[in-house]
Amino acid sequence: MPEPSEDELPAGVWTTPYVGRRFPGSRSVAEKPGLAEGANCQFFAYEVLRHFGLDVPAWRSSDLWADAELTERVAVPRPLDLALFNADHEPWGAHVGVVVGEVRILHLCAEVGRPAVWTLEEFAARERYRTLLGFKRVRPTGT
């Protein structure tokens, strides 16, 4: 699997605004798919994976964390794995980002308002993201 780089992502990814109501399965996403209208963290992460040929159902973070059929929990992340963070160990409402190398996470959050790449230390320094739940690897379709 290729390591995602800024050059490999469509230009619109970097200007995606944070819009909390645009989550996987939401009416606003169904009516206007894609990132131009904004996204929450999950929808943003899933769209980045889709760009690289990995498909994720319209799961909320707790569904993603519970799944063992289409994804697997991994201890050592690699590019295009998903990272989940929260204030505690609860997967419901967890923040989701995409590993882009050297355990740097591409994500979209309300605090920044646009996509950003943070280290694990930058997440840990913020109360709402201080707990790394772990990493999930999406299994390629057809395997």
Q: Could you report the per-residue pLDDT of 103-124, keeping only the tens digit for each?
A: 899 999 999 999 999 999 999 9
Residue 13 predicted with pLDDT over 80: yes
pTM for this one?
A: 0.93
Residue 3 predicted with pLDDT over 70: no
Q: Could you report the per-residue pLDDT of 16-39, keeping only the tens digit for each?
A: 999 999 999 999 999 999 999 999
Please enumerate in sequence order all residues whose Cβ is within 8 A of that of 64, keeping only pairs 6 or more positions apart, or say none. Answer: 42, 56, 71, 82, 84, 91, 96, 136
Residue 74 predicted with pLDDT over 50: yes
CATH of 12-138, one of 3.90.1720.10, 3.20.20.60, 2.30.130.10, 3.50.30.30: 3.90.1720.10
Rounded to 10 degrees, the C-alpha dihedral 70/76/82/86 comes to 120
Point out which residues pair with 98 in neighbouring strands: 82, 106
Max Cα-Cα span within the chain: 39
Of the pLDDT bands very low, low, confident and very high (cuts 50, 70, 90), residue 12 is confident
Average pLDDT in the 83-99 region?
Answer: 97
Of the pLDDT bands very low, low, confident and very high (cuts 50, 70, 90), residue 1 is very low
Query: Mean pLDDT for the chain?
Result: 92
Q: Specify the pLDDT at position 2.
A: 52
Residue extents of the structural domains in the chain: 12-138
Q: Specify the pLDDT at position 101.
A: 83
Residue of higher predicted confidence among 9 and 45: 45
